[in-house]
Structure 1
Amino acid sequence: MANEITKAKMVIDKEFKISEIDPRIYGSFIEHLGRAVYGGLYEPGHATADELGFRQDVIQMVKELQVPIIRYPGGNMVSAYNWEDGVGPKEDRPRRLELAWRVIETNQVGTNEFVDWSKKVNSEVMMAVNLGTRGIDAARNLLEYCNHPGGTYWSDLRKQHGYEAPHKIKTWCLGNEMDGPWQVGMKTPTEYGRLAAETGKAMKLVDPTIELVSCGSSNSAMPTFPEWEATSLDHTYEVADFVSLHQYYGNRDNDTANFIANSLDMENFIKTVIATCDYIKAKKRSKKTMNLSFDEWNVWFHSNEADSKLEPWSIAPPQLEDVYTFEDAILVGSMLNTMLRHSDRVKIACMAQLVNVIAPIMTETGGGIWKQSIFYPYYYTSVYGRGIALNPVVSSPKYDSKDFTDVPYLDTSIVYNEEKEELVIFATNRHLENILHVDVDIRSFEGFKIVEHVVLENNDPKASNSIREEKVKPHTNGQSYTEDGLLVGILPKLSWNMIRLKKSN
């Protein structure tokens, strides 16, 4: 029966702390792929373009999301990329065959331009180096170009290019998905581990203040997972500060209940990588705990068929332009919940990607801009999910689906911002038919009252947005209420919710 009530319970306590949340968990990713850069960030002829050719409508929308760090320039593209092609006078920059996505790369945007853009959106850069076709030399030179103050060949070249002050890029990825057969310069875990360890060693000699990310498996379905992590980390454990995770999900079977349960797979992936890291820690008698950088995650499958028909060697064609549905937004909300529940180890995460390419923000070349369904859970979690992650004690009825057993109808993460005296509950109701009533014990938050209950809901799981019509957008008419140390959360069927409470004076 539709619209019946299912009941769940939860206890939230100030003492049930998981971790301080690293803001970089709300990071994103821009690759030289499709219209992410050209026609996305950068469109000199656009009506909103600034003096550097960047679209200011895109800048404003990215700023809304409060993205703290953005990974760049790839992705698969970085594994055959020569960074020197993208610096210096634009008229001198070569056009290259870009092998990962089989397009022409014009190199009109490169390292310096991306640093300029990231400052405009109040974000840090997470730079990836090429360990596919290149290695130690190119990586140390790029780092010297970016971070060294001056008085050397590469740092003085940066100054000649108009950048007197160093960029001070802190976080660097040692390659990308090096276990993938699709990668130019694919490596075995031992080959990668040796190269990454020696590259990282050289980079930290250039700048000891940087942080390094060692490549983990391209996804949890790789036949070498988690042996790849164990073998490569055996080499990189002491030089790296993070290991990467990548994961995408798609509803190819058109099974909503099964699709929205995929965050359980993500949870298992995270737990397995943590266990593997801790095994290497024990094996090495190391005092260092390896943290996780989930630096590619999203839903990705809608555009696969269209992408297979593209002619090669065009410039910035529309690639990976998934149009996201309401049910995609539900899963994205749960993926964010999953990472927050593991914020003691997941310190960086990057929604892949940011503009046009499997992205929350879409543009028309020469035209307008619009928000995809997945924009909203990302926006609210980024803006209000700052502080301490708490571990709720949850009692929820469950269901089984094609690939998963014991899927809780209630999926949640809790954030307590002591400074603002604010408690935020992010909650997904996975039930396709029933309202979920959640009795939440909040006695340790005496005097806290609901200031807003944001709901993302839609009767059509396949509803999506376009530049003409926004069918999937949140409202603030949530029905939750508090009484006698209890919060009664009323979560509509198949919905993502944010319930925000503040201490009343």
Structure 2
Amino acid sequence: MTQQLKATLTVDKNNKIGKVNERIYGSFIEHLGRAVYGGIYDPEHPEADEQGFRKDVINLVKELQVPIVRYPGGNMVSAYNWEDGVGPKENRPKRLELAWRTIETNEVGTNEFVDWAKKVNAEVMMAVNLGTRGIDAARNLIEYTNHPGGTYWSELRKSHGYEQPHHIKTWCLGNEMDGPWQVGHKTAYEYGRIAQETGKAMKLVDPSIELVACGSSNTGMPTFPEYEATVLDIAYDQVDYISLHQYYGNRTNDPANYLAKNMDMDHFIHTVTSTCDYIKAKHRSKKTIMLSFDEWNVWYHSNEADKEIEPWTVAPPQLEDVYNFEDALLVGSMLITLLNHADRVKMACMAQLVNVIAPIMTENKGRSWKQTIFYPYMHASVFGRGVAIHPILSSPKYDSKDFTDVPFIDSASVYNEETEELTIFLVNKHLEESITLQADVRSFEDYSLVEHIVLENDDLKAINTANEQKVAPHHNGESTLQDGVLDARLSKTSWNVIRLKK
């Protein structure tokens, strides 16, 4: 009989990382595949509202409590003319969409998306085209969305039925501009200059906005992190955030190595933070650049199927990853990583929200359902609001193909001072063994155990479908709290949410 594996954790309310900005639970809707058409928008659906938006999907998004949604891309934005998506629908042109080689009908555009975001209680993070366009299109767009009236573009908005400005606060200056796949791909110097000048013009129109500059498209880019350093060296005074994008997959079917990949995410964040602070020191600046991890998820299941898609069709089923249980575990660990960098990661977007590498799946005119990754995302968003507490964790470790000293346990803690609640998020990555955790929570006096939520399944490849939810959480976790000591059994390969309240 093997000896029971043990881990210890200390959660001290005075050991703060930083306030969790709720926008780290953001998401992303791109005009890609069935994210918009058939996803959020399906006027022929039996549950479509008066604007054609699916009410079943709206309810699922509300369940996730998504605070901000990035739009309209993504790779798509780098050849997008925003003017195509406003005004009377019958006058809107159909266009070749070059990023994903489809036909864009432009039935949904800026105004409609703002309306949809209000229905799900989310802000909009708007991206501007710095691939085929630049300063002029961006300053016109922000005048259209944010200026009260009395000018050409603001009056045009009013003529389209929107008397009040949209007050969009957060803007992405292009997308993945270091990627050779990007229409209008730019060197770091070229992008730094266009970002600087576009940002300057946009802030002249509306000084209250915040701007996100593109960093490297992922850690594997040959220019990483030099791209970030060069861009910030040029545009530091104009921008407020630098973006990070990263996706992971389990192509070799090595679950131990796959579940360790949030360690790469952790290293990515450390490296970008260091780069930002180097440029801050170089500029003798008082401003600290924050991080916007505005694309993150698992993405690999659909790669082969996507090669078979016929080009130049409308809303084909692209990037429709069907997520399994082990994907949900890695997503949980990635959320934990974001929380443990709450001092610098102030925005993040799970990419994407519906159908396209998404927690929510739909049938056109039919059913909708929750993928496996829906649950850790929902738990973190709902219970992870407050102050992130530094977890002092001692866990048994393992080595994998790409990583050494991988803790079997990942943990993050969030203290909500207003509601007097403490939530501890935990992933056990051990493929065969449960682990007993003893947590010192004595700084939270007179707290009691509310619940221990567990997501577990003996089959790492188990999936959810419209017909069956094989992977869903239960509330029967094994935990006790006595005299400020929490004892919990974390079953093998499990996502755990332990909630305490005064």
Structure 2 length as normaliser, TM-score?
Answer: 0.99
Matches of 2:213 and 2:488, distance apart in 1: 41
**Other-structure match for 2:98:** 99
Instruction: Indicate the residue corresponding to 1:481 in structure 2.
Output: 480
In 1, the alpha carbon distance for the partners of 2:162 and 2:108 equals 15
Hey, what does 2:330 align to over in structure 1?
331
SS in 1 for 2:461: coil
- How far 1:485 sits from its partner (Å)? 1.8
Post-superposition Cα deviations, 1:283-320, rounded to whole Å, max 9, x if no partner, equal 11011000000000000000000001111000000000
SS at structure 1 position matched to 2:478: coil
Letter paired with 1:101: W
Give the equivalent residue in structure 1 for 2:62. 63
Q: Aligned residue for 1:364?
A: 363
**CA shift for structure 1 position 253:** 0.6
Superimposed CA distance per residue, residues 216-245 of structure 1 (whole angstroms, 9 cap, x where no aligned partner): 000011111000000111111110000000
The question of 1:152 aligning with 2:151 is answered: yes
**Separation in structure 1 between the aligned mates of residue 234 and residue 354 of structure 2, nearest angstrom:** 35
Aligned to 2:137: 138
2:379 maps to what in 1?
380
1:301-346 per-residue CA deviation (whole Å, 9 max, x = no partner) reads: 0000000111100000000000000000000000000000000000
Taking the aligned partners of 1:288 and 1:489, their CA distance within structure 2 comes to 42
Compute the displacement of 1:446 (Å): 1.5
SS at match of 1:294: strand
CA distance in 1 between counterparts of 2:254 and 2:264 reads: 16
After superposition, what is the alpha-carbon deviation per residue over 1:124-166, rounded to whole angstroms, capped at 9, x for unaligned?
0000000000000000000000000000000000000000000
> CA shift at 1:392, angstroms?
1.3
Provide the rounded CA distance (Å) in 2 between the counterparts of 1:485 and 1:133: 59
* AA of the residue aligned to 2:72: P
Output the CA distance in 1 between the equivalents of 2:235 and 2:25: 25
Instruction: Encode CA deviations 1:47-105: one digit per residue, 9 max, x unaligned.
Output: 00000000000000000000000000000000000000000000000000000000000
Cα distance in 1 for partners of 2:287, 2:489 equals: 43
Q: Per the alignment, in what secondary structure is the counterpart of residue 456 of structure 1?
A: strand
- The residue that corresponds to 2:220 in the other structure is 221
Distance 2:373 2:173 in 1: 29
Structure 2 CA distance for aligned equivalents of residues 339 and 102 of structure 1: 33
Matches within 5 A, 1:160-199: 160-199=159-198
Q: Write the distance in 2 (CA, Å) between the matches of 1:385 and 1:285.
A: 35
- Which position in structure 2 is the counterpart of 1:390? 389
Q: Distance in 2 between matches of 1:320 and 1:328?
A: 15
**Aligned residue type for 1:287:** K
Residue 272 of structure 1 corresponds to 271
| Matches of 2:124 and 2:4, distance apart in 1 | 46
Q: Distance in 2 between matches of 1:73 and 1:236?
A: 23
Partner of 2:419: 420
CA RMSD after TM alignment: 0.7
Deviation at 1:482, TM superposition (A): 1.1
How far apart are the structure 2 equivalents of 1:296 and 1:331?
Answer: 15
- Which residue matches 2:304? 305
C-alpha distance in structure 1 between counterparts of 2:128 and 2:249, whole Å: 29
Correspondence for 2:77: 78
What is the identity, as a one-letter code, of the residue corresponding to 1:361?
I
Paired amino acid for 1:177: E
* Corresponding letter in the other structure for 1:58: V
Q: Following the alignment from structure 2 to structure 1, what is the Cα–Cα distance between the partners of residues 483 and 54?
A: 51
2:314 is paired with a residue whose SS is coil
Q: Name the CA distance, whole Å, in 2 between partners of 1:188 and 1:487.
A: 52
Cα deviation, 1:146-191, whole Å, max 9, x if unaligned, reads: 0000000000000000000000000000000000011000000000
CA distance in 1, matches of 2:169, 2:444: 37
- Number of equivalences: 502
Q: CA deviation at 1:449?
A: 1.1
Distance in 2, Cα, partners of 1:233 & 1:5: 49
Please give the residue correspondences for 1:345-356 in structure 2 after superposition, counting only pairs within 5 Å: 345-356=344-355
For residues 369 and 240 of structure 1, the distance between their equivalents in structure 2, rounded to whole angstroms, comes to 38
- 1:419 counterpart letter in structure 2: E
Deviation at 1:490, TM superposition (A): 1.1
Aligned-partner Cα distance in 2 for 1:176–1:163: 28
DSSP 3-state at the match of 2:378: helix
In structure 1, what is the equivalent of residue 50 of structure 2?
Answer: 51
Alpha-carbon distance in structure 2 between the residues aligned to 1:284 and 1:461? 49
Counterpart-to-counterpart distance in 2, 1:88 and 1:133: 22
1:399 aligns with 2:412: no
Whole-Å separation in 1 of the counterparts to 2:449 and 2:247: 34
Secondary structure (helix, strand or coil) at the match of 1:487 reads strand
Match for residue 240 of structure 2? 241
Distance in 1, matches of 2:157 and 2:73, equals: 21
1:484 to partner: Cα distance? 2.3
The equivalent residue for 1:493 is: 492
Hey, what does 1:340 align to over in structure 2?
339
Query: Partner amino acid for 1:357?
Result: V
Once structures 1 and 2 are overlaid, which stretch shifts more, 378-387 or 480-489?
A: 480-489
Tell me which moved more, 443-452 or 123-132. 443-452
Separation in structure 1 between the aligned mates of residue 145 and residue 365 of structure 2, nearest angstrom: 32
Moved over 6 A (4+): none
Give the corresponding residue for 1:36: 35
Deviations 1:436-490 (A, max 9, x none): 1111011111111111000000001000100011110000000011122210121
Letter in 1 for 2:185: M
User: In structure 2, what is the equivalent of residue 430 of structure 1?
Assistant: 429
- Give the equivalent residue in structure 2 for 1:263: 262
Q: Which amino acid in the other structure matches residue 204 of structure 1?
A: K
Shift of 1:209: 0.1
Letter in 1 for 2:324: T
Q: CA deviation at 1:5?
A: 2.4
**For residues 324 and 259 of structure 2, what CA distance do their matches in structure 1 show?**
12
2: CA distance between counterparts of 1:269 and 1:5?
Answer: 33
Give, in angstroms, the shift of residue 268 of structure 1.
0.1
